[in-house]
């Protein structure tokens, strides 16, 4: 193999001083390379230093409000992806509890990022959708209170406007365990039992659109009902409780072909002694 080939062995032969000089030269005018080098230097001082550096960067990303045009879009994607890589590859092996906290904080900044960048291509969303999957491996190693975790999950799924928390119940199901899923279910049921605060709803910026749809209170009630149904079904699916999952459907729901198909896929569960059951069978 040629000694000019760009590979680890050939570059290592240049020596540390030469490589350091080259890196300084290469990073001049490149904010993303500078940022990555600073993160690597922080990690070299210890995981706690890297935790501090990433937390600081996430706060900056959250507070930023300038629109990111197409010229800077690629750099933003590289930036947020770098934060995930550092959390997952550098911090998680040494300090899973801090990694969990930082990854949670990272997903929380998603709405602030979406509000200032055009993500019609979906590659910004891809970073967040990939990042949330890492909770499955990190959460079991972190020092987490099941009760606190259930409360955290409940808080974020109530305000999931961009879908950034989609799938979090299933992803954390092993860490939550039966106890945590029961507590999460209780949060949902308590919410379902509460009356709709119409006065608070009237402050919503899209009130006019809701009124056009045939009644503000009715729309709010329907939206709440769909949300509760979705949550309880996700919890049931995570718990492997087919009966509880299918029980969230009304008989009319089960007459729909798509719903009937979904019900059949749930371990062959069929509602007993009902027209809905017959619809599912057919």
Question: What is the DSSP annotation of 131-177?
Answer: HHTTHHHHGGGS---HHHHHHHHHHHHTT-TTSTTTTHHHHTHHHHH
Residue 116 lies in a domain: yes
235 burial (CB, 10 Å; 0-12 / 13-18 / 19+) is buried
Q: Note the pLDDT of residue 242.
A: 85
Alpha-carbon gap, residue 173 to 195, rounded angstroms? 29
Residue 124 lies in a domain: yes
159 burial (CB, 10 Å; 0-12 / 13-18 / 19+) is exposed
DSSP 68: B
Residue 242 lies in a domain: no
- The CB-based long-range contact list for 263-267 (8 Å cut-off, 24+ gap) reads 266/242, 267/242
Residue 156 lies in a domain: no
The tally of domains found in the chain comes to 1
Alpha-carbon gap, residue 212 to 201, rounded angstroms? 15
Q: What is the pLDDT along the chain (282 residues), one digit of tens a residue?
A: 688 788 888 888 888 898 888 888 888 877 888 888 888 888 888 899 999 999 999 999 999 999 999 899 999 999 999 999 999 999 999 999 999 999 999 999 999 999 999 999 999 999 999 999 999 999 999 999 999 999 999 999 999 999 999 999 999 999 999 999 999 999 999 999 998 764 455 445 445 544 555 555 577 788 899 999 999 999 999 999 988 888 887 777 777 777 677 666 665 544 444 444 444 433
Residue 135 lies in a domain: yes
Residue 40 lies in a domain: yes
CB 176 within 8 A of CB 150: yes
Alpha-carbon gap, residue 225 to 248, rounded angstroms? 10
Residue 106 lies in a domain: yes
Parent domain of 49: 17-143
């Amino acid at each position: 193999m040629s000694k000019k080939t760009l590979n680890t062995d050939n570059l290592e032969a240049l020596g540390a001083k030469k490589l350091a000089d080259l890196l300084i030269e290469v990073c001049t005018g490149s904010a993303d390379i500078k940022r990555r080098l600073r993160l690597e230097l922080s990690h070299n001082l210890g995981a706690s230093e890297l935790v501090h550096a990433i937390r600081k960067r996430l706060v900056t990303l959250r507070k930023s409000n300038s629109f990111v045009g197409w010229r800077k879009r690629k750099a933003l994607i590289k930036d947020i992806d770098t934060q995930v890589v550092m959390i997952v590859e550098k911090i998680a092996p040494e300090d899973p509890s801090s990694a969990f906290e930082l990854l949670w904080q990272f997903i929380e900044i998603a709405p602030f990022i979406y509000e200032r960048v055009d993500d019609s291509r979906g590659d910004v969303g891809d970073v967040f959708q990939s990042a949330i999957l890492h909770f499955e491996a990190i959460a079991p190693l972190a020092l987490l209170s099941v009760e606190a975790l259930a409360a955290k999950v409940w808080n974020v799924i109530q305000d999931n406007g961009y879908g950034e928390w989609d799938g979090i119940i299933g992803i954390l199901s092993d860490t939550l365990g039966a106890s945590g899923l029961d507590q999460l279910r209780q949060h949902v049921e308590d919410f379902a039992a509460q009356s709709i605060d119409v006065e608070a709803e009237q402050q919503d910026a899209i009130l006019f659109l809701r009124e056009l749809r045939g009644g503000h209170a009715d729309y709010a009630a329907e939206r709440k009902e769909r949300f509760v149904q979705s949550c309880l079904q996700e919890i049931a699916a995570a718990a492997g409780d087919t009966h509880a999952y299918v029980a969230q459907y009304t008989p009319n729901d089960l007459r729909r072909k798509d719903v009937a198909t979904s019900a059949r896929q749930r371990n062959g569960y069929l509602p007993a002694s009902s027209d809905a059951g017959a619809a599912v069978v057919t």
